[in-house]
Structure 1
Amino acid sequence: RAKATKARMVQSRIKQLEKMERIELETDESGIGFRFPQPERSGHTVLRLEGIGKRYGDNEVLRDLNLEIDRGDRIAIVGVNGAGKSTFSRLVAGTEPPSAGARKLGHKVELAYFSQNHADELDPKKTVLETIEKGASTAAASMNLRTLLGAFLFRGDDVFKSVGVLSGGERSRLALARMLIQPANLLVLDEPTNHLDMQSQEVMQRALADYTGTYLIVSHNRAFLDPIVTKVLEFIPRRPMRVYHGNVSDYLEKKAAEAEANAPAPAARADGPAAGAGTGDAAGGLNRREQRRLEAQQRQKRAETLKPLQQKLAAVEARIAAMESEKNTLTEKLVDPEFFKSAADEARAATERFHALEGELESAYSEWSAVTEELEGFGNR
Structure 2
Amino acid sequence: MVVSRNCAESNFGTVRIELPDNQSELSPALARAFQAASARHVYRWFPSEDIRSELPTDFELRFDCLTGKDGVRRFNPTLGSEALISLLFIGGLAILIKHNSLSAEQAWDSQMMFLLFQKMRKLNNHQQRNFQGIKDLYIKRPGRQETGQRNVLPDSLGTGPDSINPPWGIDKLKTKGEELARECGYERPSMRQTIEYGLFAAALLHPLMIEDPEQIEGLLRIALYNEWNTCDCDLQTREWIEGEIQEAIRAHLRDSQDDFNEWFWGCKNSFLKQIARKRCPHENVTNSMVRKVLLDLGWRAYTCVAECIHEQMYYFQNALRNPLNEQERQIFEMAYQKQSYLADLPLLLLYERIPFLKAPMLALLRGENDFDFTGTVHRLLFYYSQM
TM-score, L = length of structure 2? 0.27
Structure showing greater Rg: 1
Which structure features the higher share of strand residues?
A: 1
TM-score (norm 1): 0.27
